[in-house]
């Protein structure tokens, strides 16, 4: 829903502000694609990344919960990975990739989708463009900035 997407966006931008990077905008196309993919996930009840994200066309964060998860909770859960991120020794790791995608400086827009499976669990998909978590040398240093005091 539009309200859910706005809630996820607001949480992203509150966190991005902490890191001194520009806010994201919602994109209709990304919303539509994220929603479509969330529905696919809910139908199969398997949480796996899309081929679009695998080939670098977009960034993607996924979340699953056994209940209907509020947008802010989803964003908070992704952001909480900051506790495992090393600003001294930056780079990609599967344990911090949700956090780094959220605050990636060069990302400009996002889309959000949510769908419920038959058992009441929910799948949330966030898509980002341009994609973050680029592993070229220097990319993490340039794009994942420490939170401002």
Q: Is 117 inside a domain boundary?
A: yes
pTM as predicted: 0.95
Parallel, antiparallel or unpaired: strands 59-65 and 122-129: antiparallel
Provide the residue range defining the domain that includes 122.
2-143
**Model pLDDT, residue 95:** 95
Ordered mean pLDDT values, 10 residues apiece, the chain (149 residues): 95 99 98 98 94 88 94 98 97 96 99 96 97 95 95
**Residue 104: CATH number of its domain:** 3.40.33.10
Q: Is 7 inside a domain boundary?
A: yes
Total domain count for the chain?
A: 1
> Distance (Å, rounded) from C-alpha 126 to C-alpha 67?
18
Q: Is 111 inside a domain boundary?
A: yes
Q: Is 149 inside a domain boundary?
A: no
Exposed e or buried b per residue across 99-122, where buried means at least 16 C-beta atoms within 10 angstroms of its C-beta: bbbbbbbebebbbbbbbebeeebb
C-alpha to C-alpha distances, 111 to 30, 56, 71, nearest whole angstrom: 4, 16, 13
Q: Is 148 inside a domain boundary?
A: no
Tokens of 124: 């949330």
> Distance (Å, rounded) from C-alpha 46 to C-alpha 14?
30
């Amino acid at each position: 829903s539009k309200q859910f997407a706005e809630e996820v966006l607001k949480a992203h931008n509150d966190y991005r502000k902490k890191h001194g990077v520009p806010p994201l905008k919602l994109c209709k196309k990304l919303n539509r694609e994220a929603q479509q993919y969330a529905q696919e996930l809910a139908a199969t009840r398997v949480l796996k990344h899309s081929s679009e994200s695998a080939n670098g066309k977009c960034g993607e964060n996924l979340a699953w919960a056994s209940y209907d998860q509020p947008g802010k909770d989803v964003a908070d859960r992704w952001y909480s990975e900051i506790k495992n991120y090393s600003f001294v020794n930056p780079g990609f790791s599967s344990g911090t990739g949700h956090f780094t995608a959220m605050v990636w400086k060069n990302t400009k827009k996002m889309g959000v989708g949510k769908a419920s499976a038959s058992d009441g669990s929910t799948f949330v998909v966030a898509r980002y463009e341009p994609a973050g978590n680029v592993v070229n040398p220097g990319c993490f240093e340039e794009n994942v900035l420490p939170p401002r005091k």
